[in-house]
Amino acid sequence: MSAGRPRVAVVGAAAAGLAAAEGLRRLGWDGEISLVGDEPHPPYDRPPLSKQVLSGAWEPERVALRDPAQIAGLGLDLRLGTRARSYDPVRRMLVLGDDARTELRCAGVIAATGVTPRTLPGAEGVEGVHVLRTLDDALALRRRLAAPGRRLAVVGGGVLGAEAAAVARGLGHDVALVCAGGTVMERVLGAEAGRLLAGLHRDHGVALHTGRAVTGIRAVAGRAVGVVLADGTTVEADDVLLAIGSTPAVDWLRGPGAEAAGLDLSDGLGCDEFCAAAPGLYGAGDVARWYHPVLGRHLRLEHRMNAAEQGLAAARNLLAELDPGRFGERRAFTPVPYFWSDQYDVRIQGYGLLAGADRIEVPVREGDPLRLAALYGTGDRVTGALSIGLAPRQARSLRAVAAAPTPWPEATERLADALAPAAAG
């Protein structure tokens, strides 16, 4: 590696970071690319952790996002097991390692550090309390679920808690799912779809505790024996999974230059429509909150597809900033948000914006087998569409329904077309 080659550093070596590094190379960046990740593993995929890895259907190797030859082919300065300690966007200086010994001068930085799970006060160091974010987290819980007849208390009825509950029931364990909301995934899906999912979990034998806040862990001799609810009762368990949301990993950006560069770190790394947070600093994936000009608002999505798309968009726009003559104009990042979740044998897919809708219409709602199609919107516009258990082609066609805010009558018509028998299959 010759001295003096300009360097782009990508911080966070997972879905968004890998997409950014690959994007930089593919688009023609021939300078140095430092890909820095604090986990020891090469980039791997998270969605299977709460599904195939937890159930034991997949061995850990299968979640690798690329094979070693593909990673080597990118010609990276790959620094795994290395934490970015700080970045000064004014001096463009990245400091690595807990000892802060390594300083890298960067032409640009892409922040792709994701989120870290929230926990409960007093949960730290208690044996049998789990979170589920990393491969190591998934393997630790999987080892516990390998023994038969466990009692698992899942705290949090969001997508992660619901998926883990489904897997643990599939393995035959006793599962209690404690949700602060009135139903499962209520915050994202609203009450009606949430009730349907709650029914699915009940039908599979999950003990649902809805509308219940958990105040702490009950432990004996340093080992969890259950969770304590706000009314003082205890849900007994051998293991507890905390799936109560996450916090964007931006501590390393809170250095001296943050204020001077005008960084907004109030909810992740605040970025403009080009995913730029400051000159030479771009954000991608779960950590990035950027302005979506088509939807007319800031978004921070914790969705797998967004991580990959935004990694590439951030790479392209950073290069365009560094050398517009060579890499062209920056482009606003305007994806149609998309997520999926698998629970039992049901696939849930959301396109566009669902959370925060003030009107939800559910034209298709069938119980057995579970099938639902719904439109979500605010004011006179539809902004999102949801599929639960629809045929794959029908589900995919909902993307067009939610591609941009659309008047209700038009969106309803499009949904009917998407669901017409000819579109099934």
Ligand X SMILES: Cc1cc2nc3c(=O)[nH]c(=O)nc-3n(C[C@H](O)[C@H](O)[C@H](O)COP(=O)(O)OP(=O)(O)OC[C@H]3O[C@@H](n4cnc5c(N)ncnc54)[C@H](O)[C@@H]3O)c2cc1C
- Cβ-in-10-Å burial (0-12, 13-18, 19+) of 155 comes to buried
- Is 212 among the residues that bind ligand X (CB under 6 A)? no
Query: Angle 159-170/186-203 helices, nearest 10 degrees?
Result: 10
**Distance, CA of 183 to CA of 193 (rounded, Å):** 9
Count, in order, helices (H) and strands (E) of the chain: 11, 28
Q: Which stretch binds ligand X (CB under 6 A): 58-66, 200-208, 259-267, 303-311?
A: 303-311
- Is 157 among the residues that bind ligand X (CB under 6 A)? no
- Identified binder of ligand X from the candidate list 76, 95, 131, 160, rule CB under 6 A: 160
- Is 243 among the residues that bind ligand X (CB under 6 A)? no
CB distance 243 to 181 below 8 Å:
no
- Is 167 among the residues that bind ligand X (CB under 6 A)? no
Which amino acid, 171?
L
**C-beta closer to ligand X: residue 253 or 415:** 253
**C-beta closer to ligand X: residue 12 or 257:** 12
- Identified binder of ligand X from the candidate list 304, 330, 371, 414, rule CB under 6 A: 304
Q: Which stretch binds ligand X (CB under 6 A): 63-71, 144-152, 333-341, 383-391?
A: 333-341
- Identified binder of ligand X from the candidate list 208, 249, 263, 275, rule CB under 6 A: 249
- Is 12 among the residues that bind ligand X (CB under 6 A)? yes
- Taking CB atoms within 8 Å and a gap of at least 24, the contacts of 73-76 are 74/21, 74/22, 74/25, 74/33, 75/25, 75/33, 76/21, 76/33, 76/34, 76/35
Coil, helix or strand for 39? Answer: coil
Q: Which of 246, 241, 238, 291 is nearest to 264 (CA)?
A: 291
End-to-end CA distance of the chain: 52
- Cβ-in-10-Å burial (0-12, 13-18, 19+) of 332 comes to middle
Q: Which of 297, 291, 285 is nearest to 248 (CA)?
A: 285
Q: Which residue has the tokens 């293991």?
A: 239
**Binding-residue total with ligand X (CB under 6 A):** 36
- Identified binder of ligand X from the candidate list 6, 27, 31, 39, rule CB under 6 A: 39
**C-beta closer to ligand X: residue 47 or 280:** 47
- Identified binder of ligand X from the candidate list 89, 114, 257, 270, rule CB under 6 A: 114
The answer to whether the peptide bond before residue 60 is cis (omega within 30 degrees of 0) is no
Q: Which of 15, 37, 30, 18 is nearest to 326 (CA)?
A: 30
**C-beta closer to ligand X: residue 113 or 183:** 113
- Identified binder of ligand X from the candidate list 93, 229, 292, 340, rule CB under 6 A: 340
- Is 298 among the residues that bind ligand X (CB under 6 A)? no
- Is 176 among the residues that bind ligand X (CB under 6 A)? no
Task: Output the six-digit token pair for 105.
Answer: 């001068």
Q: Which stretch binds ligand X (CB under 6 A): 107-115, 119-127, 173-181, 377-385?
A: 107-115
- Identified binder of ligand X from the candidate list 8, 9, 84, 224, rule CB under 6 A: 84
**Distance, CA of 58 to CA of 43 (rounded, Å):** 17
- Identified binder of ligand X from the candidate list 87, 327, 333, 339, rule CB under 6 A: 339
CB distance 141 to 41 below 8 Å:
no
384 φψ region: left (φ > 0), alpha (ψ -120 to 50), beta (else): beta
- Is 141 among the residues that bind ligand X (CB under 6 A)? no
- Identified binder of ligand X from the candidate list 8, 9, 10, 16, rule CB under 6 A: 16
- Identified binder of ligand X from the candidate list 33, 307, 320, 353, rule CB under 6 A: 307
- Is 252 among the residues that bind ligand X (CB under 6 A)? yes
- Is 302 among the residues that bind ligand X (CB under 6 A)? yes
- Identified binder of ligand X from the candidate list 239, 286, 309, 321, rule CB under 6 A: 286
- Is 58 among the residues that bind ligand X (CB under 6 A)? no
- Identified binder of ligand X from the candidate list 10, 32, 34, 38, rule CB under 6 A: 38
- Is 314 among the residues that bind ligand X (CB under 6 A)? no
Q: Are strands 207-209 and 174-178 parallel, antiparallel or unpaired?
A: parallel
**C-beta closer to ligand X: residue 12 or 405:** 12
Residues that bind ligand X (CB under 6 A): 11-17, 36-39, 46-47, 49-50, 83-84, 112-115, 132-133, 160, 249, 252, 285-286, 302-305, 307, 339-341
